[in-house]
Amino acid sequence: MRKERGLLIVLSGPSGVGKGTVRKELFSKAGTNYEYSISMTTRAPREGEVDGVDYFFKSRNEFEALIEEGGLLEHAEFVGNYYGTPLAYVNETLDAGRDVFLEIEVQGAAQIREKAPEALFIFLAPPSISELQNRLIGRGTETEEIIKMRIDTARDELEMMSLYDYVVENDEIQNACDKINAIIVAEHCRRERIEKTYLSMLRGE
């Protein structure tokens, strides 16, 4: 029977929501069932970051050459630097039947939605979504201008959400990780995925 292709898991969300922290927590546990795709970037390494572990650190020229060659699944410019997902690793890992986990910003996620709509898209939302309204207007302590800025930000974030399959509120790291793992398990049980495997089995593939 043909081996089922791995699942491409995309974790994304607004800047500052804690994607990196949640991702590190997910991968700090033994027995994680998915592989982390190490991104490429032109930003300088931060203290303690290791080339080939945290990122593949590249020059702008090297990065642009890779874009030209079609070597990236997606890429985006974020605060003056390039970030991108190496295509070969993703394809090889998925073909081997293993899941791949990407932690990327929203422009990159939008590109993947176009190229690989069958991927699983999880939006990490800012904490206190449930209290959004209170935070925005309930306190009575903010100026009208600040309230308007907050509402605009919330509206932008809600619009971004519409590209995603699931929304996980990052209220507490462990809570968010548990939900992400539960979503991945559920996604593997999705009828469309299972059915494909059964149908190919019935065809003797």
For the chain, how many helices (H) and strands (E)? 8, 9
Pick the closer one to ligand 5GP by CB: 86 or 142.
86
Q: How far apart are CA 183 and CA 10, in angstroms?
A: 12
Pick the closer one to ligand 5GP by CB: 58 or 179.
58
Residue with tokens 């049980």: 189
Size of the site for ligand 5GP (CB under 6 A): 15
Pick the closer one to ligand 5GP by CB: 35 or 103.
103
Contacting ligand 5GP (CB under 6 A), which of 63, 83, 121, 123?
Answer: 83
> Is 31 marked within a binding site?
no
71: nearest Cα among 59, 89, 53, 57:
89
Contact partners, residue 169, CB within 8 Å, separation at least 6 = 125, 126, 127, 128, 129, 130, 176
Contacting ligand 5GP (CB under 6 A), which of 18, 21, 43, 98?
Answer: 43
Pick the closer one to ligand 5GP by CB: 107 or 197.
107
Pick the closer one to ligand 5GP by CB: 7 or 74.
74
Minimum distance from residue 3 beta carbon to ligand 5GP (Å)? 26
Minimum distance from residue 76 beta carbon to ligand 5GP (Å)? 4
Contact partners, residue 15, CB within 8 Å, separation at least 6 = 105
Q: Is 5 in the site for ligand 5GP (CB under 6 A)?
A: no
Contacting ligand 5GP (CB under 6 A), which of 26, 84, 100, 177?
Answer: 84
Contacting ligand 5GP (CB under 6 A), which of 27, 56, 57, 78?
Answer: 78
Can you point out the beta strands (E) in the chain? 8-12, 34-36, 40-41, 56-57, 72-78, 81-86, 99-103, 120-125, 166-169
25: nearest Cα among 160, 153, 178:
178
Q: Is 74 in the site for ligand 5GP (CB under 6 A)?
A: yes
164: nearest Cα among 97, 87, 112:
112
Does residue 60 contact residue 72 with C-beta atoms inside 8 Å?
A: no
Q: Which residues are near ligand 5GP by CB under 6 A?
A: 15, 19, 39, 43, 74, 76, 78, 83-85, 103-105, 107-108
